[in-house]
Amino acid sequence: MSIAVMTRRQDMIDFLRDHSKKPNTKIGFVPTMGALHAGHTTLIAQSASENQLTVVSVFVNPKQFGPQEDLSKYPRQFRQDCDLCQAHGAHVVFAPTVEEMYPPGFATQVSVPTLNRILCGEHRPGHFDGVATVVALLLNIVRPDRSYFGQKDYQQVQIIRRLCLDMGFPTKIVMVKTIREADGLALSSRNVYLTPEARVLAQAIPQALGKAAKLYCDGERKASVLRDCVLAVLKAHSLVPQYAEIRLAEDLSQRVEGVLTADCVFALAQLVPSGEISVRLIDNIILSEDSEWMRCLEELSHVHIPGDSL
C-alpha cells in the first residue's frame, strides 16, 4: 500500500482526527522542505519508533528564502521523497501548495526577535520569521505530540523551542543529532550544488570543527583557542566563515568569549565557492561534557580527511 499524501489543510486535519481516535495514539511530526536524504530519514525513523502515527510535511516554504536565494532552484524530487517516507515508517505526507498554506489575504508573521538576528539571522534577514511562521501554521494543522528537528539547524531548533514555549503549543521538541557523510560533511539538500572540487573544499568545515572537538575532548576550555583553531583550518583552505561563534547552548543568548563553564554550541556558516556560485553551508558542534555529546565530538575528531596535513 502506498503512503497517504494530503495536499489540503482540511484533509490533513480530518485524516488526523479520524486516525488518532484510538487511545494512546501519539502523533510524531517531521517538517521538511523535501529532497530528503539520510538526515531527514533519521528524523522520520526516530518519529516512527516513538509514535503510532508519523506525519512528514514536504513544503518548500517561500517565506524563508531571501530575494537573492535559491527558491526556484531548490531541489525537488517528490515521488522519491514519498518512497523514502514510506520506507522509514511514516504514515502520511502533507504536501500543500503555496496557495494552500498562504491563501490570498494571508498577513500574519511569527517572529522570535531575540533569536532571529544573530548567527544565520544576521546574514539571512527574514529567514527565521519565515521558518517560525510556517512551523506555527504546520503545528496548528498537525497538532503533534512530538516534533522532530535536526541539530544541524541548531538555531532553528532554539527558535522553535521558544515559539512553542511562548505560544503554548503542546508538542515536545525532539532534537536529533547531525547525520554526516563518511568524511564528516553534514548532510544537506544543498550539497547537490557542490562541484566535485567544491565538495573536497567543503571537507574543511568538519575538519575545522573536528579539530576544535579534539581540543575540547582533550580538556581545552578557552573559547579563543577553540575559535582560533577552527579559523586556522579554514584559512589553510582560503576560507573565511560568515560567522564562527561559540554561544551558550541552552538558548544561544550569549556569545562566550572567555572560559567555557556551561554547555556551548560552536556554530559556523561558510560560503563555499562552487563553479559560478557559492554554496552556503552551516554546521555546529555541541561542546558539552555530557557523555552523549562527548561521543559525537570524539566521532567527528576521528573522521579521516584525505590529505589532512594540519
User: Quick check: helix, strand or coil at residue 108?
Assistant: coil
Q: Closest approach of Cβ 37 to ligand AMP, in Å?
A: 7
Torsion-angle region of 168 (φ positive above 0: left; ψ -120 to 50: alpha; else: beta): left
User: Quick check: helix, strand or coil at residue 271?
Assistant: strand
- Separation CA 111–CA 235 (nearest Å): 35
Report 183-202 residues binding ligand AMP (CB under 6 A).
186-189
* Residue 19 bears catalytic tag: no
Q: Closest approach of Cβ 110 to ligand AMP, in Å?
A: 16
Pick from 6, 43, 56, 296 the residue near ligand AMP by CB under 6 A. 43
Q: Which residue is at the shortest CB distance from ligand AMP?
A: 150
Pick from 127, 152, 211, 227 the residue near ligand AMP by CB under 6 A. 152
Cβ(31)–Cβ(138) below 8 Å: yes
Pick from 82, 84, 132, 179 the residue near ligand AMP by CB under 6 A. 179
Amino acid at 90: A
Site string for ligand AMP, 158-177 (x = CB under 6 A): ------------------x-
Q: Closest approach of Cβ 188 to ligand AMP, in Å?
A: 6
Residue from 40, 88, 91, 127 carrying the catalytic annotation: 40
- Separation CA 97–CA 25 (nearest Å): 28
Buried b (16+ CB within 10 A) or exposed e, 76-111: eeeeebbebbbebbbbbbbbbeeebbbeeeeeeebe
Pick from 12, 28, 40, 91 the residue near ligand AMP by CB under 6 A. 40
Note the residues at the interface with ligand AMP (CB under 6 A). 32-33, 39-40, 43, 149-150, 152-153, 176, 178-179, 186-189
